Amino acid sequence: MLKINKLNVGVDDKNILNNINLEINKGELHVIMGRNGTGKSTLSNIITGKDGYNIGGGEVLYKNKNLLDMSTEDRALEGIFMSFQYPVSIPGLNTMHFLRTSVNSIRKHQNKEEYSSGEFIKVFKEKLAIVGLDESFAKRSVNDGFSGGEKKRFEILQMLLIEPKLVILDETDSGLDIDALRIVANGINNFKSKNNSFLLITHYYRIIEYLNPDFVHVLLDVKIVKSGDQKLALKLEENGYGWLKK
Amino acid sequence: MDKVKRTKKQLTDISSSEYKYGFKTNIEEERLPNGLNEDIIKSISKIKNEPKWLLDFRLKSYEKWKKMKEPNWQNLKYPKIDFNEICYYSSPKKKKLKSLDEVDPELLKTYDKLGIPLDEQKMLSNVAVDAVFDSVSIATTFKDTLKKAGVIFCSFSEAVIKYPDLIKKYLGTVIPSSDNYYAALNSAVFSDGSFVYIPKNTKCPMELSTYFRINAANTGQFERTLIIADDNSYVSYLEGCTAPMRDENQLHAAIVELITLDNAEIKYSTVQNWYPGDKNGKGGIYNFVTKRGHCKGNNSKISWTQIETGSSLTWKYPSCVLKGDNSIGEFYSVALSNNYQQADTGTKMIHLGKNTKSTIISKGISAGHGQQTYRGQVKIMKNAINSRNFSQCDSILIGSNCGAHTQPYINIKNSSSKIEHEATTSKIGEDQLFYCNQRGISTENAISLIINGFCKDVFKKLPMEFAIEAQKLMEISLEGCSVG
């Protein structure tokens, strides 16, 4: 699904990611952990195509296509989805209208039939229940005045509606209370299948416990310094990052 | 008269209508020499066969204008206008084209995007219309319906001849010619416009629009409109058309006067989409318009809704004088400035009567190098006890080279009245667009989604089809915009 080879990334003169190698296959869930400011969000921005980075070398392949040549929009249309760490609010833009536009652009691109307004309301309500949001959400503006928890659930709602192939969860668990975390994790587990892939960026073991990842990677000082399985995450939770110093 | 004959007669009326303005045979080139002086004004009046009282009105206005100074308080930058370089009367019909092949292809592209049917495209592009053209019969049935209701809806020139008493009684009573520089200019040289009179106890059976009154479609650069709603009457009037009128005239100075008597209501909606100039700010219309409504009667209501996307300069403050007790004034506005467009627009709500209410919702959008100023005045006089005003002025910026300015003036002279004012300025950020792009929505669609969300409160005040066209128009006007 996603293959990153020897990727180097900088902003201005600063090196942010160095020699990153990562391969995520269909049906896998990978976790990236690491201290603040070690380039975790940069990695998700590079995969989704945000401007402002210099690619110093290496390649990123998605379904064997060069991802770095594609626009953000095309990547989304091809099935890449990111749950944002800080979703922006768009005052005045109705959530339903936004979601339907988004879902239908992607369905159209993937030669699936676009939802009529009636069909969409049905699917919308169904998924809304999964993330535990009530129907008054249909009348609000995108992320406008949402609480932290509502924003994260709204991201997961979008994932469920869009049905992407590769999902990046950028600190989707941050700022969630215990109940909300369980709901969000359930939403993810519900959708996870043999045909899609996940990359979760997180600081905490709790969500990992819910999601049972296949691989855990530690990003420290611009590099992936260690990879392992769920046990690695548990060890980090108990001992911190100190023991990993070169 | 049967329907076919009637249609034929209508057609003859329309096709011969260009001649009734004429005094030379070569209609297409009929124009007065450039410049402004008494002789020019006398010629205009003569061409239009006007009575002496109207010529006097024009000449007096001209005298006033000569003594006035061009306003300079607005936030608009433009080279000085040479009023002697302007032609004040040219034949209102532009050159007729033989087919759509002769029309600017860019213009046709825009029509297609607006979803305007081919026949209407022909009419809008001033291609000669033939007998099967739908709008002709629409115009005919339309006139019959209005006649039955007793509604007068005709060109201003026609009204001067047919209804001189009404014109004499109301002309210049809302906007005296001394009101401002451009009002004085219009009063001296106005060419044509619309006249509407809704009799007592009458709800106008349809929405009136200049668009259907074909022979008034090209009224030229100095329009004058007068609408009177008598006791217990109602009318909704739509001005302009959403298709871009590529008028060659540089200066537009129009006047619109509205009068509502007891319990009457006028709803006036405008979509202004004159030529905005090119991407580099070359060309485009200077739009200096004075619009004012007088809620003269008790419990009367005047509501202005405007969508301003065109013109390189917009100077326009549709206002309400709330004289009748319990009268209501409303102003809903969306103004957009892209490329090098500049708009200085807003409203005045003057509360004179008791328990008067006004609402102002203004949405300014700036993109490219566009500049937007909201300028509004709320004045509550001493006797206007228990009056209310609510104002909301929001601006949104697209990109970092544009500007938004808000200049509200508030003046209350009694202690029982209340005013609320809210204002916001926001920016379409790269983060918002990135978010939308990440959801598979193109930048262009994202901008239009965000802008439509921003304008929602105003769009919903427009008649249904107008609202849909206004949305499309916003999309077209913002095409190719970037936030960088």
Q: Which residues of A touch B456 (CB under 8 A)?
A: 92
pLDDT at B213: 38
CB nearest to A77's CB, from B440, B449, B456: B440
The token pair at B26 is 């070569």
CB nearest to B434's CB, from A72, A106, A158: A72
The token pair at B411 is 């003046």
Which domain does A8 fall in, by range? 2-245
- Strand, helix or coil for residue B291: strand
CB nearest to B441's CB, from A50, A88, A102: A102
Measure in Å the smallest separation between the Cα of A9 and chain B Cα atoms: 20
**The tokens 């833009």 sit on which residue?**
A93
**Do the Cβ atoms of B429 and A84 come within 8 Å?**
no
To 10 degrees, what angle do helices B52-67 and B181-189 make? Answer: 150
Residues of chain A with pLDDT under 50: none
B104 Cα distance to chain centroid: 24
Assigned domain for B146 exists: yes
pLDDT at B91: 57
CATH number of the domain bearing residue A45: 3.40.50.300
**Do the Cβ atoms of A76 and B437 come within 8 Å?**
yes
A-B contacts at Cβ under 8 angstroms = 71
**Do the Cβ atoms of B439 and A158 come within 8 Å?**
yes
As for how many domains chain A has, the answer is: 1
Assigned domain for B174 exists: yes
Distance CA B271, CA B476 (A): 14
Nearest to A48 by CA among B444, B440, B449, B445: B440
pLDDT at B251: 80
Q: Which residues of B touch A163 (CB under 8 A)?
A: none
Distance CA B78, CA B10 (A): 44
Measure in Å the smallest separation between the Cα of B156 and chain A Cα atoms: 41
Please report the residues numbered 403 through 442 in chain B whose beta carbons come closer than 8 angstroms to any beta carbon of chain A: 426, 429-432, 434-442
Distance CA A142, CA A134 (A): 15
Query: B361-400: per-residue pLDDT in tens?
Result: 999 999 889 999 999 999 999 999 999 999 999 999 988 8
Q: Which residues of B touch A92 (CB under 8 A)?
A: 450, 453-454, 456
Residue A207's alpha-carbon distances to A42, A177, A179, B94, in angstroms, are 21, 12, 12, 72
The residues pairing with B332 across neighbouring beta strands, listed in sequence order, are B305, B361
Q: What one-letter code names the amino acid at A71?
A: S
CB nearest to A105's CB, from B430, B440, B450: B440
Which domain does B382 fall in, by range? 3-478
pLDDT at B96: 53
pLDDT at B472: 79
pLDDT at B97: 59
pLDDT at B1: 39
For chain A, which residues lie within 8 Å of any Cβ of chain B, measuring from their own Cβ?
48-51, 71-73, 75-77, 81-82, 84, 87-88, 90-94, 97-98, 101-102, 105-106, 109, 141, 158, 162
Distance CA B274, CA B76 (A): 17
**The tokens 């099967």 sit on which residue?**
B132
Q: What one-letter code names the amino acid at B101?
A: D
pLDDT at B263: 97
Q: What one-letter code names the amino acid at A144?
A: D
The token pair at B253 is 């100075």
Distance CA A159, CA A80 (A): 10
CB B395 within 8 A of CB B428: no
CB A216 within 8 A of CB A228: yes
Q: What one-letter code names the amino acid at A108?
A: K
Residues of chain B with pLDDT under 50: 1-29, 92, 94, 126-138, 212-219, 242-244
Which ipTM did the prediction report? Answer: 0.96
Backbone angles phi, psi at A112, to 5 degrees: -100, 155
B32 and A CB contact within 8 Å: no
**Do the Cβ atoms of A77 and B431 come within 8 Å?**
no
